[in-house]
Structures are given as C-alpha cells and as structure tokens.
Amino acid sequence: MAHPMRRVAVLGSTGSVGTQTLDVIRAFPDKFDVVALSAGKNLGLLAQQIDEFNPEYVLCEDSEALKSLPGRDCGSLEEMATLPEVDVVMVSTVGSAGLLPTVRALEAGKSVALANKEVLIMAGEQVMDASRRFNNQILPVDSEPSAIWQCMLGERDAVRKLIITASGGAFRDRSPTELGNVTPEEALNHPTWSMGRKITIDSATLVNKAFEVIEAHWLFDMPYDKIDVVIHRQSIVHSMIETADGIVKAHLGSPDMRYPIQYALSHPQRVFNPGLKPFDPVETGSLTFEAMDPQLYPCFELAIDVGRRPGTWGAALMGADEAAVEMFLENRIKFTEIPDVIRAVVDQHTPKDSTNLPNLDEVIQTARWASDTARATVVGSSN
C-alpha cells in the first residue's frame, strides 16, 4: 500500500523554490512529510529548516558543518534523490547540480518535481529517456510548463500549438541602445516575479524564455515550430495551448510560485491552500499581449538556435550563460556583452561524434568547459 503521506526530498532547500516548497508543505502537515533536505552554503537557514521539519537526512556543501547538524549525512545529492523513504524529489537546485540527481531519481522509481530547468537544457533527451524507460513522471514546477501541463489534461492528442508567455523582464521598456549601461541591481528588479538571482538575469535577457521553450519541447514532445512566445506584462496568464479546433486554453493566476509547486506535489489531486491569495479577475483588470522585439532580446534566438541542437550543445549553452550571468553580476561584463560571451563559447565548441547520445559525465564536463571558456574569453579580452 502506498504511504499515507507523500514523502519529499528537497534538493536546494534554502533557495527561492526550496523555501517556497517548504512553505507549501508547512500548510499541509498531514499530506507531506519532509524526509531529506539539502542546501549549499546557507547553513543558518538550513538549521532552521531542520529544526522545523525534522528531516531524517541532510546534506550541505560544508562537510565539517554537516557533522554538527542533526540528521543523517546523505553522502551526495544522488543518494538523497534515491532514498527508499522518498516518493517525490523536488529538484530546486540551479545549473548542473540537478542533472545526476534527476536521472538517478527517475531510475529509482521516484517522481521528480523539476524546478532546475537547466537539467533539460543540458540533457533533455537523456532525462526524458530515463523518465520513459522507468515509467516515472517529471512534474513541471516552472510556472509556464506547469500551466501547459494543466491545460493539456485531457487534451494530449488534440494540441496543435503551445503559447508560452513572457513578462519581458526588467528591461522590457528600454530601447536596445540603452541596455549597454544597465546595472546588475536594475536587472535584478523583476517587474512581476520574485525569483533567484540567476533566473532573474536570464529573464532580463530572455534566455530564461528560450530555456522554457526547450523545456516545453522535451516535456510535451512538441516540435519547436509549434511553440510560440508572446510578451504578457502582467504575468497572469502563465501559458496557453491551442487545440485542434482552434480553441485556446489559458491558465490564469497570481504570479506566485507556490501554486505550481503545490500542484507538482499534490498531483493528480488539487488541494486548497488558505495561505495563497485567490485570483480576482476584476482586481487584475486588463491583460495585454505583444509580439517580442528580437532587437531587445538578442539572446533569445541565439539560445534557441544552440539549445535545440543535439548532443552537448545544450550543455555548452548552459555553462556559457551561467558564467556570463555571474560575470555580469560581478560587474565584469556589460549586460549587452552576455550574448557576445555565449557566442564566443559556442564558436569554440566542437562536439564529439553526434550520432551517439553523450553520457551524463560528458554533458557535465561540457558545461564546466563552457563556463571556464566564457571566463577565459573575458579575461583575454580585457588584458
């Protein structure tokens, strides 16, 4: 018999999605049980979370500090993701960190609530393959794929097109010529969503949206020419699908990540959370939709073009973007140099024989190479 509680491991528990996951779990103490928590460097918050949720297993980057925390040392994220006591693994890490835990969890029979979208950018084919072979579900946590997933319920064979919405990010009202001098602080000021730093910069460049197109391609087995992106400033319509008869179904709600997190955890049930503000269409008022201006977002086409290529290209894109974003946040490159850095790395990438799917180690190595190469490119050009 299934366990009466859904037992959850949260990988990346002190980040933006991790803390919001625990906020959802806090509202349903009889439905979800936190079995394992992992964090990076934020030991203070991790200690608080351990105190509140009392997980059996814990993990953090600092192995000395880990000894002083209550809970059993898990050894690695992969071991945490495959614990027999776990039903659902929330992968809310960032960058490459979530790849191996995601695949191992699927192979071990777990459902994976996937917030770490880079996993699908790096190895979409391998991850979907593991999901199919082991018959385990990937539960989208990102708000746009979650919206598409929910619109598609009962419509799987009748979907003609996906329409992904984009807020347009921090610089949607700037002209392309103004972007050379924008600061990290301005870029981090997202108009509608409160998220982690990396994804907020990716939203300003629209790399994030390109990643979501690639994510949707893999999750919903949809050809790229059937995935559109539209600028929607209010972030109320989280995405849409068009069905065979031309009907469009949209998913609406407040821009609050706890909704898609909660659905991923409770699926196929729906649960009422009194802590979430209900959606009020009258209070929301007007909704607008605009075409995206490619001049304002040169990273978008670049990221789609590279990210849709097979083999290790996605990993190269991911690593290059990650380093470019970090260097922008460190004030080492301008915002408008982010696409230049990505292009420079991509130009140097020589994938191995593309007839074979790269293994996960090759994928991770490529991402690391791309990050290092991005940094070397910038050091080289400033000397």
Residues that bind Mg ion (CB under 5 A): 142-144
Q: Which is nearer to Mg ion, 229 or 378 (CB)?
A: 229
* Nearer to Mg ion among residue 57 and residue 259 (C-beta): 259
What's the closest the beta carbon of residue 239 comes to Mg ion, in angstroms? 9
Q: State the minimum distance, in angstroms, from the CB of residue 83 to Mg ion.
A: 28
Which tokens go with 211? Answer: 């990643």
Burial of 317 (0-12, 13-18, 19+ CB in 10 A): buried
By beta-carbon proximity to Mg ion, the closer residue of 56 and 144 is: 144
- CB neighbours of 306 closer than 8 A, spacing ≥ 6? 313, 314, 316, 317, 342, 346
**Tokens matching residue 252:** 């609406």
Question: Cβ 154 to Mg ion, closest distance in Å?
Answer: 23
The least CB distance from residue 293 to Mg ion, in Å, is 20
CB of 212 to Mg ion, least distance (A): 6
Rg (Cα) of the chain, in Å, rounded?
20
Nearer Cβ to Mg ion (33/144): 144
Answer for the pair 133, 214: CB distance below 8 angstroms, yes or no. Answer: no
Give me the least distance between CB of 130 and Mg ion, in Å please.
Answer: 23
d(CA 36, CA 77): 10
Cβ-based nearer residue to Mg ion, 87 or 142 = 142
Cβ atoms of 179 and 171 closer than 8 Å: yes
Instruction: Provide CB contacts within 8 A for 4, sequence distance 6+.
Output: none
96 beta partners:
none
Query: What DSSP state is assigned to residue 136?
Result: -
Using the minimum distance from each CB to Mg ion, give the nearer residue, 53 or 171.
Answer: 171
Please give the residue whose beta carbon sits closest to Mg ion in the complex: 142
Nearest to Mg ion of 112, 360 (CB atom): 112
CB 114 within 8 A of CB 137: no
Give min distance, CB of 56 to Mg ion, in A.
Answer: 32
Under a CB-based contact definition with an 8 Å cutoff, are residues 193 and 235 in contact? yes
Residue 44 burial by Cβ neighbours in a 10 Å radius (0-12, 13-18, 19+) = exposed
Q: Shortest approach of Mg ion to residue 238 CB, angstroms?
A: 8
The first and second tokens of residue 29, run together, are: 């103490």
Which residue lies nearer to Mg ion by CB, 112 or 141? 141
Assigned token pair, 271 = 């649960």
The residue (of 144 and 322) whose beta carbon lies closer to Mg ion is 144
- State the nearest-atom distance from the C-beta of 209 to Mg ion, in Å: 8
Q: Which of 131, 99, 124, 145 is nearest to 257 (CA)?
A: 145
- How does 334-371 read in b/e, with b if 16+ C-beta sit within 10 Å? ebbbbbbbbbbbbeebeeeeeeeebebebbbbbbebbb
